[in-house]
A and B are shown apart, each in its own frame.
Chain A
Amino acid sequence: MHPIVKLLSQRIALGLLLIIATSALIFAGTQILPGDVAQSILGQSATPEALANLREELGLNEPALSRYFDWLFGALQGDLGTALTNGKDIATSMASRLANTLFLAFWAAIIAVPLALILGLVAARYAGRWPDKLISGVTLATISLPEFVVGYIVMYILAVNYRLFPSTSVIYDSMSLLEKLNAIAMPVIVLVLVVLAHMMRMTRAAILNVMQSAYIETAELKGLRPATIISRHAFPNAIAPVVNVVMLNLAYLVVGVVVVEVVFVYPGMGQYLVDHVSKRDVPVVQACGLVFAAVYIGLNILADMIAILTNPRLRHPK
Chain B
Amino acid sequence: MPETLLDIKNLKIEATVYPPGEDPHDITIVEGVSVSLEGGKVLGLIGESGAGKSTIGLSAMAYGRGGVRITGGEVTLNGRDILKLGPKALRGLRGREVTYVAQSAAASFNPAKRLMEQVIEATLKHGLCSRSEAEARAVKLFRKLGLPNPETIGSRYPHQVSGGQLQRVMTAMALCPEPSLVIFDEPTTALDVTTQIDVLAAIKEAIRDTGVAALYITHDLAVVAQVSDHILVLRNGNKVEYGPVKQIIEDPHEDYTRALVSVRSIDHEEKKPAEPVLRVDNVTARYKGTNFDVLSNVSVDVAPGQTLAIVGESGSGKSTLARAITGLLPPSAGRITFAGRTLTPDLKTRSIDDLRELQMIYQMADVAMNPRQTVGTIIGRPLEFYFGMRGEEKRKRVQELLDQIEMGKGFIDRYPAELSGGQKQRVCIARALAAKPKLIICDEVTSALDPLVADGILKLLLELQAQEGVAYLFITHDLATVKAIADSIAVMYRGKVVRYGPKTQVLTPPFDDYTDLLLSSVPEMRLGWLEHVIETRKMESAGN
User: Complex formed: what's the CA distance from A236 to B118 in Å?
Assistant: 14
Q: A213-B107, A313-B111 are in contact. Are A220 and B159 (CB under 8 A)?
A: no
Structural contact, B159 and A318, CB atoms closer than 8 A: yes
Q: Mark B107-143, 1 if CB is under 8 A from A, else 0.
A: 1111111000010011001100000000000000000
Say yes or no: A218 contacts B112, CB within 8 Å: no
A228 on the B face (CB < 8 A):
yes
In the complex, what residue of chain B is closest to A216 when comparing beta carbons?
B110
Q: Which of B432-470 contact A (CB under 8 A)?
A: none
Complex Cα gap A221–B93 (Å): 9
Minimum distance in angstroms from B185 CB to a CB of chain A = 10
Q: Hey, what's the 0/1 contact readout for A209-220 against B, CB within 8 Å counting as 1?
A: 000011101111
In the complex, chain A residues 181-239 whose Cβ is within 8 Å of any chain B Cβ:
213-215, 217-225, 228, 232-233, 236-237
- Taken together as a complex, chains A and B put the C-alpha atoms of A237 and B118 apart, in Å, by 15
Q: When the two chains form their complex, are residues A215 and B109 in contact, meaning their CB atoms are under 8 A apart?
A: yes
For the complex, give the distance between the alpha carbons of A237 and B110 in Å: 8
Complex-state Cα separation, A219 to B122, whole angstroms: 9
- The residue in chain B whose Cβ has the minimal distance to the Cβ of A225 is B91
A313 touches B159 (CB 8 A): yes
User: B134 CB to closest chain A CB, in angstroms?
Assistant: 13
User: Is there an interface contact between B111 and A312, defined as CB atoms closer than 8 Å?
Assistant: yes
Which residue on A lies nearest to B122, using beta carbons? A222
Q: Nearest chain-A residue to B160 (Cβ)? A: A318
Majority secondary structure of chain A interface residues (helix, strand, loop or mixed):
helix
Tell me, yes or no, whether A2 is within 8 Å of chain B by CB.
no
Interface residues of B in 194-248 (CB under 8 A from A): none
A312-B157, A313-B159 known; A237 vs B112 contact (CB < 8 Å): yes
Asked whether any CB of chain B lies closer than 8 Å to the CB of A6, the reply is no
> Is B348 close to A, CB under 8 A?
no
Q: How far is the CA of A253 from the CA of B99 in the complex (A)?
A: 48
Of the residues B90, B111, B159, contact of A223 by C-beta under 8 Å: B90
Complex Cα distance, B122 from A218, in Å, reads 10
Assess whether B113 is in contact with A236, with CB atoms less than 8 Å apart: yes
Chain B interface extent, by class? 20 to 34
Instruction: Report B140-169 residues with CB < 8 Å from chain A CB.
Output: 156-157, 159-160
Contacts of A213 in B (CB 8 A): 107
Kindly list chain A residues whose C-beta atoms are within 8 Å of the C-beta of B95. Answer: 221-224
Is B415 among interface residues, defined by CB-CB distance under 8 A? no
Q: Which of A218, A233, A237 contacts B102 (CB 8 A)?
A: A218
Residues from chain A with a CB closer than 8 A to the CB of B118 are 218
The one of A221, A225, A228, A316 that contacts B63, using a Cβ cutoff of 8 Å: A221
Q: What is the bound-complex CA distance between A213 and B109, given in angstroms?
A: 10
Cα of A222 to Cα of B126 in the assembled complex, Å: 9
B356 within 8 A of A: no
Q: How far is the CB of B435 from chain A (nearest CB, A)?
A: 42
Complex CA distance for A247 and B330, rounded to whole angstroms: 45
Tell me the chain A residues, 230-259 only, with Cβ under 8 Å from chain B: 232-233, 236-237
In angstroms, how far is the closest chain B Cβ from the Cβ of A21? 26
Chain A residues within 8 Å of B110, by CB? 215, 218-219, 232-233, 236-237
Inter-subunit contact A316/B157 (CB<8 Å): yes
Residues on the A chain within 8 Å of B323, using CB? none
**Those of B75-114 within 8 Å (CB) of chain A:** 90-96, 99-100, 102, 104, 107-113
A225 to B92, CA, bound (A): 10
Complex Cα spacing A222 to B174, Å = 9
Complex CA distance for A220 and B61, rounded to whole angstroms = 11
Which positions 32-68 of chain B face chain A at CB distance < 8 Å?
Answer: 61, 63, 65
Verify B111–A224 contact, CB threshold 8 A. Answer: no
> When chains A and B are docked, how far (Å) is the Cα of A215 from the Cα of B112?
11
B160 near A316 (CB under 8 angstroms)?
Answer: yes
The smallest beta-carbon distance between B62 and chain A, in angstroms, is 11
Docked Cα-Cα span, A224 to B65, in Å, equals: 16
Cβ-defined partner of A224 (8 Å) among B125, B156, B159 = B125
Please tell me if the beta carbons of B96 and A223 are within 8 angstroms of each other in the complex: yes
Residues in B whose Cβ lies below 8 Å from that of A218: 100, 102, 108-110, 118
Residues of B within 8 A of A220 (CB): 63, 94
Could you tell me the distance between the alpha carbons of A218 and B91 in the complex, rounded to whole angstroms?
A: 13
Query: How far apart sit A236 and B65, CA to CA, in the bound complex (Å)?
Result: 23
Docked complex Cα distance between A85 and B155 (Å): 66
A236 touches B122 (CB 8 A): no
Closest chain B residue to A235, Cβ basis:
B112
| Bound-state Cα–Cα, A223 to B124, Å | 11
Report if A312-B121 is in contact (Cβ < 8 Å); known contacts: A220-B94, A221-B94, A223-B94: no
In this complex, the member of B90, B95, B156 whose beta carbon has the largest number of chain A beta carbons within 10 angstroms is B95
Report whether B112 and A221 are in contact in the complex, using a CB–CB cutoff of 8 Å: no
**Least CB distance, B424 to chain A, in whole angstroms:** 27
Partner of A217, one of B91, B96, B108, B112: B108
For A215, the chain B residues whose CB sits under 8 A away are 107-111
Chain A contacts with B in 53-91, Cβ cutoff 8 A:
none
Q: Is the CB of A312 within 8 A of B108?
A: no
Top 6 closest pairs, chain A to chain B, by CB? A222-B95, A223-B94, A223-B95, A214-B107, A222-B122, A236-B112
Cβ contacts A to B, 26 pairs, < 8 Å: A213-B107, A214-B102, A214-B107, A214-B108, A217-B65, A217-B108, A218-B102, A218-B108, A218-B118, A219-B121, A221-B63, A221-B94, A221-B95, A221-B99, A222-B121, A222-B125, A223-B93, A223-B95, A223-B125, A224-B91, A224-B95, A237-B111, A313-B111, A316-B157, A318-B159, A318-B160
Given A224-B121, A316-B157, 7 new contacts (CB under 8 A): A215-B108, A218-B102, A222-B121, A223-B93, A225-B91, A236-B112, A236-B113
Binding site for B on A (CB under 8 A): 213-215, 217-225, 228, 232-233, 236-237, 312-313, 316, 318
